[in-house]
Amino acid sequence: MKSRNSYELNLMKKSGSIAGSALRKSLETINIGVSEIEVDKAAEEEIYKLGGDLSYKTVPDYKYATCITVNDQVVHGLPTERKFKEGDLVSVDLAVMYKGWHTDCAWSVLVGTSEHREKQRFLKVGEEALWDGIYQAKLGNRIGDISYAIQSRVEKAGYHIVRSLVGHGIGRSLHEDPEVPGFGDKGTGVILKQGMTLAIEVIYTKNTSEVVLGSDNWTFSASDGSWGGLFEMTVIVGKEKAEVLTKI
């Protein structure tokens, strides 16, 4: 992937700020009795209100603003009429296109107010793994440094990285080279240059690194029915550190 110039990076920044706001808005909507489709609509409304467009519209046959996954579902969930319940683990994944520039982000939350300690720990580890990965996204490091940082944090906590789905370069398209796996070895892969734009993703489950495709032909779930989590931010690789574009 080429590095972007400052004009292009400014458009990416704007795209990312819309995506981050829409993600925050949609997460705030999540509550007991609210449906997935309502959350998707909240995201869509915010993206349009801020002058963005739906990046997922560029995916053939996909018509939603977001992907929403609950409990054992891990990625690519189609928003449905299903209503959230106390203790549900919910992930919202959304991407924005602004003047042709894409940014992508996802976050996972717990529904309700009761203590669900194990689920809280599960989410905390996923978020920490994302920050560990982002911390490595700087000049002179390699993709494998990001991957290794994510994998170590998740596996040390006893959880598992999904192998068949990865983060990615992003910019003119939603998915670009290079792949950014959440698993791998330090010092391997593409060398990072300033101005590269990456969607770094932590895609993990409680008990297994395998996912299965559902009957809707979109949704991937943990093969053993355990929990799935998803944390993703779009960043610009920097000289000393990455700049996060999709902050919520």
Indicate the residue among 53 and 232 with the shorter CB distance to ligand MF3: 232
Peptide linkage before 178 cis (omega within 30 of 0): yes
Nearest to 73 by CA among 199, 167, 179, 162: 162
Q: Which among Co ion, ligand MF3, none contacts residue 62 (Cβ within 5 to 8 A by kind)?
A: ligand MF3
- Give the interface segment with ligand MF3, choosing from 8-16, 17-25, 59-67, 186-194 (CB under 6 A): 59-67
Secondary structure letter of residue 141 according to DSSP: -
Q: What's the CA gap between 227 and 221, in Å, rounded?
A: 8
Q: What's the CA gap between 107 and 123, in Å, rounded?
A: 9
Residue nearest to ligand MF3 (CB): 59
Question: Applying CB under 6 A, which of residues 19, 25, 46, 56 lies at the interface with ligand MF3?
Answer: 56
User: In the sheet where 73-75 sits, what is the strand order?
Assistant: 73-75, 220-222, 211-213
If one asks whether residue 199 binds Co ion (CB under 5 A), the answer comes out as: yes
Q: Which among Co ion, ligand MF3, none contacts residue 37 (Cβ within 5 to 8 A by kind)?
A: none
- In this structure, is the dihedral angle defined by the CA atoms of residues 183, 137, 229 and 57, taken in order, positive or negative? negative
Question: Applying CB under 6 A, which of residues 44, 93, 132, 145 lies at the interface with ligand MF3?
Answer: 93
Residues in contact with ligand MF3 by the rule CB under 6 A: 56, 59, 62, 67, 76, 93, 95, 104, 199, 201, 232
Q: Which residues bind Co ion (CB under 5 A)?
A: 104, 199
